[in-house]
A and B are shown apart, each in its own frame.
Chain A
């Protein structure tokens, strides 16, 4: 039997141009209602003219291994699956405990009354496909990875580079890794 999947993402901010293709692709793919999104783009600039630094990145649910949303969900709607965090909308009462618990502001209340967020395109993963955002991404900044993959794609991508995870101090053990924009080209 194949080893269990442990999905996540490695996001290379060196190449991201904040074009938002991921946001639109996600909206089409997942029929995200108008006015909401499951992923979003951040462009951060630091410094003073003319010494400026920029990082662009596409953000979404971090699919934490120790997810506060799962811990605090009173109905079991939020749950783990293959290294991702999923929401069973039929079990969700829309109580918003998870919204308060999530350190990444990754969730919203769907107009139909349940809480929604990035599913890492679970319906596509189940068919062996890439996520909608990663497959559209013109710069290949977004990379779907399986940390249990014996070929170690994730490790290879990150080897020798400055890599971080967001809000590690929260103890969430997120599945999203970011290759920092401060890495030199070809690092």
Chain B
């Protein structure tokens, strides 16, 4: 028996405020702290600038942390880093609100049972590490290494992965991959043989015409992409936005087409139909560089603009006009792959439809079209022998992506295998499981209750830490080294360094040290034996530089690559056919449709509205929920439910009133949400930003602000090809406050 039965009932524990940072060490009044330090302008004290990279989202822009008197008083965009170009989104600037969050986890905590009561006690690192190692070791011995899984989000996970690899564990899942970038990565991989990229391989600045499907840049502050869209607009870029909601990007568009949710593939098929039937596609490119055209033509032949108009609510004239304009501007025209690409369980095919629309107009490696960036070629620093198990993919889905080393299983499969008692222990690195979209909050909590041992590594008392057996407080990204950010292709190939701007606060430690302590305790000597600076220096010296050198600017830059193809250049694609696969041989072999097919999705029940979600520009969901600096603006403080004016009238809702939301399964939001009555959304859908409605009191700022989107997910659609989770077939109605 690994753990006493009585402790399996995983009550949600209150982490006593004694163990949090607020009561322990916040000597500076919060207002002063968050506004950057009262002496910021006084000019006394030397200013030190530390170049590193951001952790507020996966874009990982270069930042410059400005330090005075041992405190970071502001964060600006690094002028050396090609993804920031000296500019930064609000979240990047808001790092000061994270490092100086008074609610931060300050000490390791161990869950204990005393006199029938379960509580947390403050532990030393030695104790917490020894206890964690003992539990993980015991579970591996009893059930085998496949009974342990790591759920992770954030760039510090690499050290834990190394530790686990040496321990024989390789079940790693990154929930964001499942519903965000996974489907389009695999969709592009199946079509072009390479992923869509982060940043996406679209030559935005030189483009004349870009189609966006539901992607709301501007609210989605991916710095470089937003910079490029702005520059594009200055140069004359025309934008078309298909979105049920008049997003900020739709506000920039030449055409906003409020498409009926769930009908994107029908729309894309109709656009293909016009390109093909009106002979507007690039015949030469299609003949020379693609396979499966006939099959595609046969599939989209039926989707005339008239038929699509009935399905999508967009007029046939508009569809024709967009397709013709797109072809006219091509090859300096593109369909942007977007992000959060799993909506209805057909995300891979939806992403492939976008890839195909690009291929049809022959914009590959053309100015203003789809481009393929290069990586900085960092020499492999270790001779790392990968045993067979390290390459094993645990996912049951036939086309689960195997080119992403951080993922070996879909995150919802971790939840399912836990419920089936195949997985007994979780290491959770920066994933707030109850509020992370896997299969909704209810099922996530069932799995949490089932798991024998849960160790959480986090910086803040997120909900998940309230269920953990051990809580290991990591310091923030501003207080630590992580591995080099070196694997991403971009216009200017780069390697970026994360380095500490200040020392770790309280009793928190960097992930690299936590993983090393765990590895040592597990008897895995030498796996992470050296200190992180030596490790990074060795890696960088192989690239002809050094840690000391890269510390100065935070980046190592390659030469900007030639993005465009020469006339007559031979193009090769890493697909089975060596060509762009309009009809995918891999999908066909796995028993799926080789060309994307439109499938009708369920309609909202009477009186209910499809629940759409997205984000605000100054927040990244859980990562920023408790950030007082970022949450200071009234627009950031809570989420609202966007309701069309006519729908509001029907339900007698007024702008600014608070309602509870009830979904189709009868789940009522725990907290009320403010109504935003607006013309900016269709009548069959409502919209709310994800990442609000936190129920953990220790998140003193985020607690009870807005309503939780994840709580209202009772139904999911799995993409059977790649195992990604679609969750937009959830519908809500309003319950007025008594």
Interface residues in chain A, defined as those with a beta carbon under 8 Å from any beta carbon in chain B: 12, 14-15, 17-21, 23-25, 27-35, 37, 41, 43, 45, 47-50, 52-56, 123, 132, 135-141, 181, 185-186
Q: Is the CB of B74 within 8 A of A28?
A: yes
* Chain B hits for A136, CB < 8 A: 76-77, 87-88, 93
Q: Is the CB of A186 within 8 A of B235?
A: yes
Q: Per-residue 0/1 for B79-93: is the Cβ within 8 Å of any A Cβ (1 yes, 0 no)?
A: 000000011111001
**Within 8 Å of chain A (Cβ to Cβ): is B287?**
no
Q: Is the CB of B258 within 8 A of A186?
A: no
Q: How far is the CB of B687 from chain A (nearest CB, A)?
A: 14
Q: Is the CB of A186 within 8 A of B233?
A: yes
* Chain A hits for B249, CB < 8 A: 17
Q: Is the CB of B227 within 8 A of A21?
A: no
Nearest A residue to B79, CB-CB: A135
Q: How far is the CB of A153 from chain B (nearest CB, A)?
A: 14
Q: Is the CB of A185 within 8 A of B236?
A: yes
Q: Is the CB of B89 within 8 A of A19?
A: yes
Q: Is the CB of B40 within 8 A of A31?
A: yes
Query: Given A136-B87, A185-B254, is A34 in contact with B35 using a C-beta cutoff of 8 Å?
Result: yes
Q: Is the CB of A19 within 8 A of B617?
A: yes
Q: How far is the CB of B644 from chain A (nearest CB, A)?
A: 7
For B75, B236, B628, B633, the residue with the greatest tally of chain A CB atoms inside 10 Å of its CB is B633
Q: How far is the CB of A144 from chain B (nearest CB, A)?
A: 14
Q: Is the CB of B88 within 8 A of A21?
A: yes
Residue from A29, A43, A137, A186 in contact with B234 in the complex, judged by beta carbons closer than 8 Å: A186
Q: Is the CB of A21 within 8 A of B90?
A: yes
Q: Can you list 20 residue pairs at the A/B interface with Cβ under 8 Å?
A: A17-B217, A17-B249, A20-B635, A21-B89, A24-B630, A25-B93, A27-B629, A31-B41, A33-B35, A43-B248, A45-B246, A45-B251, A45-B679, A50-B256, A52-B251, A52-B256, A138-B221, A139-B229, A140-B230, A185-B232
Q: Is the CB of B35 within 8 A of A186?
A: no
**Within 8 Å of chain A (Cβ to Cβ): is B558?**
no
Q: Is the CB of B36 within 8 A of A185?
A: no
Count of CB-CB pairs between chains A and B under 8 Å = 173
Q: Is the CB of A139 within 8 A of B74?
A: no
**Within 8 Å of chain A (Cβ to Cβ): is B512?**
no
Q: Is the CB of B233 within 8 A of A185?
A: yes
CA distance A56 to B41 in the complex (A): 30
CA distance A47 to B645 in the complex (A): 12
Q: Is the CB of B226 within 8 A of A49?
A: no
For A15, A29, A31, A141, the residue with the greatest tally of chain B CB atoms inside 10 Å of its CB is A31
Q: Is the CB of A54 within 8 A of B41?
A: no
CA distance A55 to B250 in the complex (A): 11
Q: Is the CB of A15 within 8 A of B233?
A: yes
Nearest A residue to B678, CB-CB: A45
Q: Is the CB of A17 within 8 A of B248?
A: yes
**Within 8 Å of chain A (Cβ to Cβ): is B154?**
no
Q: Is the CB of B236 within 8 A of A186?
A: yes
* Chain B hits for A47, CB < 8 A: 679
Q: Is the CB of A31 within 8 A of B248?
A: no
Query: Given A33-B31, A43-B248, is A28 in contact with B36 using a C-beta cutoff of 8 Å?
Result: yes
CA distance A33 to B37 in the complex (A): 10
Query: Given A49-B644, A135-B86, A135-B87, is A21 in contact with B679 using a C-beta cutoff of 8 Å?
Result: no
**Within 8 Å of chain A (Cβ to Cβ): is B218?**
yes
Q: Is the CB of B217 within 8 A of A140?
A: no
Query: Given A49-B258, A137-B87, is A31 in contact with B679 using a C-beta cutoff of 8 Å?
Result: no
* Chain A hits for B31, CB < 8 A: 33-35
For A17, A47, A140, the residue with the greatest tally of chain B CB atoms inside 10 Å of its CB is A17
Q: Per-residue 0/1 for B35-68: is the Cβ within 8 Å of any A Cβ (1 yes, 0 no)?
A: 1111011000000000000000000000000000
